Amino acid sequence: MNKTMLVKAALIMSLGMMFIPAGDTAGKWMTSGMTQQGAIAPVFVAWSRFALGSLLIIAAYAGRQFDFKIMTDWRIWLRGIFLMLGVVCILTALSTTPIADVFAAFFIGPIISYFLAGWLLKEPISGTRTALLFVGFCGVLLVVKPGFGLTIGHVWAVTAGLLYGCFLVSTKWLSHLSNSRSLLLSNLVVGAVLLAPWGIPATPQIDFNIGMLVFLSAAFSAIGNLLYVTATKMADASRLAPLVYVQLLSATILGIIIFDTVPDHLSLFGLALLLATGFIGFALRQTKKPSKAV
């Protein structure tokens, strides 16, 4: 692969991973009671993100066709349910827990997906990758502190990560069904439809500030996912996968700037371990020599 193209893909991927925590920052502002109306129900924030995100994705791909036939496949709905429940859990976690802690706990998801993919999809499991994930898991434990600093918010975040791990595996499982934009839209449609009975009744009084936060929550998330899809068209998703840990860096910086929450020393060390494993994993993938054709 052209190195210049790979660098461009990595930069686009990293930018996308910085937008996603920005969307969750807007969500945290609403769910943690920082608006004039007090705390807004996480289920409304999640539903509005899926509903508005669907419209934004359709607008972004104006003139391009979507494969709506995949919506008749039960597996698409199962995949969407994993993501939908994961978003509700992470927004619930953000209502009480610092954003950097939430994202660190959430990153148990890629670890779980790696082993699930090996078990269910028979993907290869390497010793080096397993060792890196073990170090990353130690980083998660340092942030979550099970039995010591564990809070209900951490439990919600870990649950979100487990659901996201299932979502990642199901995405690999179903990647052959259609193009990336149709699969991306299907996630949002499933969430918007299934959350509507709870999200719509929980709608707060919409003023300018609430409306802007709702829009930013959905827009930043949609932009992040669009950039991710763009990057994976330029380079293999497996080569870019470790860069998802850029979200941790973005979440930590946003937490410090906007919410004035600085992680404690153990959490900072755990975050550093997670980031290190992500970037080392990315570097190893790029230096690995391609196998010779037989």
| Residue tagged 């950097």 (tokens) | 100
Give 220 or 130, the one with higher predicted confidence: 220
Which of 56-60, 94-98, 121-125, 191-195 has the highest mean predicted lDDT (pLDDT)?
191-195
Strands (E), the chain: none
158 pLDDT higher than 80: yes
What is the predicted pLDDT for the residue at 191?
Answer: 96
Task: Give CA angle at 202 (200, 206), nearest 5°.
Answer: 85
The answer, yes or no, to whether residue 143 has pLDDT greater than 90, is no
The per-residue pLDDT for range 23-81, each reduced to its tens digit, is 999 999 999 888 888 889 999 999 999 999 999 999 988 878 899 999 999 999 999 99
- Residue 74 CB burial class (10 angstroms; 0-12, 13-18, ≥19): exposed
pLDDT at 157 over 70: yes
Neighbouring C-beta atoms of residue 112, cutoff 10 Å: 20
CA 34 to each of CA 37, 159, 210, 259: distance values in angstroms, whole numbers, following the listed order: 8, 24, 11, 10
What the block records as the tokens of 112 is 């779980």
Task: Tell me what pLDDT residue 293 has.
Answer: 37
Q: Please give the structure tokens belonging to residue 77.
A: 């709905």
CA dihedral (266, 261, 94, 239) positive or negative? negative
pLDDT confidence of 3, banded at 50, 70, 90? confident
Quickly tell me which residue has 């371990």 as its tokens: 273
Q: 236 vs 46, which has greater pLDDT?
A: 46
Average pLDDT, the chain: 87
Q: SS3 letters for 67-127?
A: CHHHHHCHHHHHHHHHHHHHHHHHHHHHCCCCHHHHHHHHCHHHHHHHHHHHHHCCCCCCH
Mean pLDDT of 244-258: 87
279-285: Cβ within 8 A, 24+ apart: 279/242, 279/245, 280/132, 280/242, 281/129, 281/132, 281/241, 281/242, 282/10, 282/239, 282/240, 282/242, 282/243, 284/128, 285/238, 285/239, 285/242
Region 158-187: mean pLDDT is 89
